[in-house]
Chains A and B, each alone.
Chain A
Amino acid sequence: MTALNVGPTPLARIGRFMADNPLVPLILLLVGLVALLQILQPGVVNSRWLANTIKVAIPLAMLAACQTLTMLTGGIDLSAGTVATISAFATATLTPLVGAPAAILIALSVALVIGLVNGFGVAICRVHPLIMTLGTALIASGCLLVYQRYVIATGTKIPDFLVWLGTGRTLGLPNGLFLFLPFATLVIWMQRRTGFGRLLYALGSNEAAARLSGVRSWQVLLSLYALSGAIAGLTGLLYLGVVKTPSLSLALPLDLPSVAAAVVGGTSIFGGRGGFGGTIIGALILTVLGTMLTLMQIPEGGRRILFGLIILAVTALYIRLTEQGR
Chain B
Amino acid sequence: EGYKIGISNTVQGNGWREEMICAMKAEALASGKVDSLNIAHRNTDAAGQLEDIRNLIQAGVNAIVVNPTNADGINAAIKEATDKGIVVVAVDQAVTEPSAYILSNNQEEYAYIGAKWLFEQMGGKGAVVYMRGAAGAGADNDRDKGFKRAMAEYPDITIAQEVFTGWQQDQGKQQINDIIAAGVPFQGVWTSGIDNVIVDAFTEAGAPLVPIVGADNAGFVSQLSSVEGLKGAAVTNPGSVGGAGVALAIQILDGKVPAEKTVLVDPVLWDNTTEEGKAQIAAAQNPNLSPEWPVSVSIPGWTTYTMDQIIACKGPGE
* Residue B200 CB within 8 A of the other chain: yes
Cβ–Cβ contact B197 & A243, under 8 A: yes
Partner among B200, B205, B287, B292 whose Cβ is within 8 Å of the Cβ of A155: B287
Which of B115-123, B149-157, B158-166 lies at the interface with chain A?
B158-166
Cβ–Cβ contact A43 & B183, under 8 A: yes
Cβ–Cβ contact B178 & A52, under 8 A: yes
Which of B14-22, B48-56, B231-239, B252-260 lies at the interface with chain A?
B14-22
With known contacts A153-B288, A239-B170, A44–B182 Cβ distance under 8 A: yes
Cβ–Cβ contact A249 & B14, under 8 A: yes
* Residue B168 CB within 8 A of the other chain: yes
Interface contacts (Cβ under 8 Å), in number, total 105
In the docked arrangement, what's the CA distance between A46 and B170, Å? 22
Cβ–Cβ contact A291 & B178, under 8 A: yes
Residues of A within 8 A of B290 (CB): 148, 151-152, 156, 246
In the docked arrangement, what's the CA distance between A32 and B173, Å? 25
With known contacts A141-B13, A295-B161, A245–B182 Cβ distance under 8 A: no
* Residue A21 CB within 8 A of the other chain: no
Cβ–Cβ contact A52 & B177, under 8 A: yes
Cβ–Cβ contact B22 & A149, under 8 A: yes
With known contacts A249-B168, A294-B163, A56–B177 Cβ distance under 8 A: yes
Residues of A within 8 A of B280 (CB): none
Residues of A within 8 A of B292 (CB): 245, 247-248
Partner among B135, B162, B164, B173 whose Cβ is within 8 Å of the Cβ of A243: B173
Interface size class of B (residues with CB under 8 A): 35 or more
With known contacts A49-B182, A152-B289, A152-B313, A251–B170 Cβ distance under 8 A: yes
* Residue B196 CB within 8 A of the other chain: yes
Can you name the residue of chain A whose Cβ is closest to the Cβ of B162? A297
Residues of A within 8 A of B219 (CB): 245
Partner among A154, A295, A300 whose Cβ is within 8 Å of the Cβ of B184: A295
* Residue B31 CB within 8 A of the other chain: no
In the docked arrangement, what's the CA distance between A153 and B219, Å? 13
* Residue B12 CB within 8 A of the other chain: yes
Residues facing B in A248-302 (CB within 8 A) are 248-254, 290-291, 294-295, 297, 300-301
Can you name the residue of chain A whose Cβ is closest to the Cβ of B166? A253
Residues of A within 8 A of B161 (CB): 294-295, 297
With known contacts A243-B169, A249-B13, A253-B168, A290–B182 Cβ distance under 8 A: no
In the docked arrangement, what's the CA distance between A44 and B22, Å? 45
Query: Closest Cβ of chain A: how far from B134's Cβ, in Å?
Result: 10
* Residue A219 CB within 8 A of the other chain: no
In the docked arrangement, what's the CA distance between A300 and B177, Å? 19
* Residue A205 CB within 8 A of the other chain: no
* Residue B293 CB within 8 A of the other chain: yes
Residues of B within 8 A of A52 (CB): 177-178, 181
In the docked arrangement, what's the CA distance between A178 and B183, Å? 28
In the docked arrangement, what's the CA distance between A246 and B182, Å? 27
Residues of A within 8 A of B306 (CB): none
Can you name the residue of chain B whose Cβ is closest to the Cβ of A291? B178
Cβ–Cβ contact A153 & B179, under 8 A: no
Residues of B within 8 A of A167 (CB): 200, 204
Cβ–Cβ contact A152 & B174, under 8 A: no
Residues of B within 8 A of A297 (CB): 161-162
Cβ–Cβ contact A145 & B169, under 8 A: no
Cβ–Cβ contact B170 & A153, under 8 A: no
Cβ–Cβ contact B135 & A300, under 8 A: yes
Cβ–Cβ contact B13 & A245, under 8 A: no
Query: Closest Cβ of chain A: how far from B108's Cβ, in Å?
Result: 20
Query: Closest Cβ of chain B: how far from A49's Cβ, in Å?
Result: 4
Residues of A within 8 A of B196 (CB): 244-245
Cβ–Cβ contact B291 & A245, under 8 A: yes
* Residue A126 CB within 8 A of the other chain: no
Cβ–Cβ contact A252 & B13, under 8 A: yes
Can you name the residue of chain B whose Cβ is closest to the Cβ of A82? B13
With known contacts A49-B181, A242-B170, A247–B313 Cβ distance under 8 A: no
In the docked arrangement, what's the CA distance between A245 and B18, Å? 16
Residues facing B in A53-78 (CB within 8 A) are 56
Cβ–Cβ contact A294 & B179, under 8 A: yes
Residues of B within 8 A of A153 (CB): 288-289, 311
In the docked arrangement, what's the CA distance between A84 and B196, Å? 21
Residues facing A in B1-47 (CB within 8 A) are 12-15, 18, 22
Partner among A144, A152, A239 whose Cβ is within 8 Å of the Cβ of B22: A152
Cβ–Cβ contact A156 & B291, under 8 A: yes
Cβ–Cβ contact B175 & A294, under 8 A: yes
Residues facing A in B117-138 (CB within 8 A) are 135
Query: Closest Cβ of chain B: how far from A247's Cβ, in Å?
Result: 5
* Residue A206 CB within 8 A of the other chain: no
In the docked arrangement, what's the CA distance between A19 and B13, Å? 44
In the docked arrangement, what's the CA distance between A43 and B292, Å? 35
In the docked arrangement, what's the CA distance between A167 and B289, Å? 23
In the docked arrangement, what's the CA distance between A245 and B101, Å? 36
Looking at A148, A239, A254, which has the most chain B CB atoms within 10 Å of its CB?
A148
Query: Closest Cβ of chain B: how far from A101's Cβ, in Å?
Result: 22
Q: Mark A141-175, 1 if CB is under 8 A from B, else 0.
A: 10011001101111110000000000100000000
Residues of B within 8 A of A252 (CB): 13
* A interface, CB within 8 angstroms of B: 41, 43-44, 46, 48-49, 52, 56, 141, 144-145, 148-149, 151-156, 167, 239, 242-254, 290-291, 294-295, 297, 300-301
4 A-B pairs besides A46-B181, A294-B163 with CB distance below 8 A are: A152-B289, A243-B169, A252-B13, A300-B164
Can you give 9 A-B contacts (C-beta < 8 A)?
Answer: A44-B183, A46-B181, A244-B197, A246-B291, A247-B168, A248-B13, A251-B170, A253-B170, A294-B179
4 residue pairs, one from A and one from B, having the closest CB atoms: A155-B288, A49-B181, A248-B13, A44-B182
